[in-house]
Amino acid sequence: MTSIYHPGVDPKNGSADPSSFGLTVYTGKGTENNTIRNVLENAVIFFTAALYSKLKEKPGVRNKKAKEQLEHDARGFEETALRWTYQYAR
């Protein structure tokens, strides 16, 4: 598993809120929204800067430090995220 510095991802266990991906939480029945196409499209959106501002008010925030840094120091957030990418994704 690779650590990621992102407001929607828990830095300890890598969990993310399915609603952050635009998915319906599994209730034992399939849903029309949880198609492979929808899951992949929402996964791409999850990692774009456009979603970060939406996560500020969502319950899907799993990394409060990343969220606060993004709000107050966007450049520092980008530098930290880049550093984590190089450190953990090798």
What are 56's two structure tokens?
A: 């500020």
Q: Region 55-67: what's the mean pLDDT? A: 77
Q: What is the pLDDT of residue 80?
A: 95
CA-nearest of 82, 11, 48 to 22 is 48
Per the domain annotation, does 53 fall within a domain? yes
Tell me the CA distances in angstroms from 53 to 20, 82, 89, one per residue in order.
12, 19, 25
Range of the domain at 77: 18-88
Whether the CA torsion 44, 79, 87, 65 is positive or negative: it is: negative
CA-nearest of 55, 56, 58 to 45 is 55
Per the domain annotation, does 1 fall within a domain? no
Instruction: State the pTM of this model.
Output: 0.69
64-76 per-position pLDDT tens digit: 898 888 888 989 9
How many structural domains does the chain have?
1
Per the domain annotation, does 46 fall within a domain? yes
